[in-house]
Amino acid sequence: MDYVLETNNLTKNYGKFRALQGLTMHIPQGSIYGFVGKNGAGKTTLIRLICGLQTPTSGTYSLYGIDSKQKEIKKSRRRMGAVVETPAIYMEMTAKENLKQQSLILGLPSYDGLDDLLKLVGLENTGKKKAKNFSLGMRQRLGIAIALVGDPDFLVLDEPINGLDPQGIIEIRELILKLNREQNITVLISSHILDELSRLATHYGIIDGGCMVKELSAGELEAACRKKVHITVTNTTPLCTVLDELGVEYKVASQTEADIFAKVNVSQLAQKLSPYGCEILSMQEQDESLEGYYMSLVGGGRNA
C-alpha cells in the first residue's frame, strides 16, 4: 500500500510536557483519514509538525516517501495544503483576492484556475463581497480553497466543521467527499464530532495522550462496532446466571439493564429466566457507535 504520510516514533516536547509520545501512523494514498482524540491529545501538534511549522523532538516522518530530514521534504510539502486551527484569511479582501494573494505567496506564475477553484468550493458568486462579511461556513470553504491553491493532492484539515451550523456541516462534508472522489485528494481530518467523521472517513487513527491507540479502516471499525441487544429485565442477577450458562458475552448497565453481544432467542431466554421469577420488560437491537468504540479504547472525558 502507498502512503502519503508515515510517522515513525514521533515525539514532541514543550519543556517538560510531552505532547507526542512515539507516535506512529500511516495515511494511505486516496483515503480520508479521520484523526480522533481528546483535547490535548496531540492532534494539532502532529499537524503543525508535518506542515513544517514546528520540528519534532525525536522520531521522523515522511511525505510521499521523502524523509523529513531530507532537503527534498520542502518539495513534498508543496503537494500538501492545510487549514490549521483557523483559516488564514485576509478579511478585507474578496474571495478571489485571497486566492490571488496565496498564489503570490507560493510564487505561482499566473492566476489560472482560480475561478474554477471558487466554483469548486461554492464561492463563485461572492463577487466584491469581503471575507469579513462571509458566514462561518463560507470562511471555512474559502480557507479550504486557499489550501487548494497550487493544486495539492494532500489536504490537512484541523477541526474543519467546528462551530458550524447543520447546513454548514453538510456543505463542508460534501466538499471533502467531492475533493476526495473527484479530485483524488487524500484528506487528513481531525474532528471531535465523531458521528460526522463516520460519514466521511475511510480510515481512522485514534490518539490519546500523544500515543497512537489504534489505526483501522472503516471496514475494520464496522466489524469492531458490534451489534448488541439492550435488554431491560426485572433483575439482572438471574439474567447474568442464565447468560453465563449460555456462554454469551454481556455487560451489565444497572440492576435492570444489560447489553448482550449476541443474537438472542427471546423465547428460550424468557423460559430460562422464568424459574427465577425474572421477566423481560424490553429488548432493543443497537449498533455500537464510533463514539462508543472510541470511549471503550480511551475511557471517559470530553472528546476533541
d(CA 175, CA 140): 11
Strand 203-208 versus strand 186-190 pairing type: unpaired
In Å, how far are 59, 65, 269 from 89, measured between CA atoms? 33, 31, 62
Confidence of residue 174 (pLDDT cuts 50, 70, 90): very high
When comparing pLDDT for 239 and 293, which is higher?
Answer: 239
pTM of the complete model beyond 0.75: yes
* CA atoms within 13 Å, Cβ hemisphere of 275: 4
Confidence of residue 300 (pLDDT cuts 50, 70, 90): low
pLDDT of residue 302: 41
d(CA 12, CA 21): 7
SS3 71: coil
* Per-residue model confidence as pLDDT tens digits over 11-61: 999 999 999 999 999 999 999 999 998 878 899 999 999 999 999 999 999
Give the residue from 19, 55, 12 showing the smallest Cα distance to 37.
Answer: 19
pLDDT of residue 49: 95
290 has pLDDT over 90: no
pLDDT of residue 176: 95
304 has pLDDT over 70: no
Determine the average pLDDT of the residues in 144-151.
Answer: 95
H or E element in which residue 153 lies? none
pLDDT of residue 303: 39
237 has pLDDT over 60: yes
What DSSP string runs through 224-276? Answer: HS-EEEEEEES-HHHHHHHHHHHT--EEE-SSSEEEE-S---HHHHHHHHGGG
| Mean pLDDT computed over every residue of the chain | 91
The number of residues making up the chain comes to: 304
298 has pLDDT over 90: no
The residues that bridge with 267 in the sheet, in sequence order, are: none
- Cell numbers describing residue 142: 474559502
pLDDT of residue 301: 45
249 has pLDDT over 50: yes
Determine the average pLDDT of the residues in 246-255.
Answer: 91
SS3 19: strand
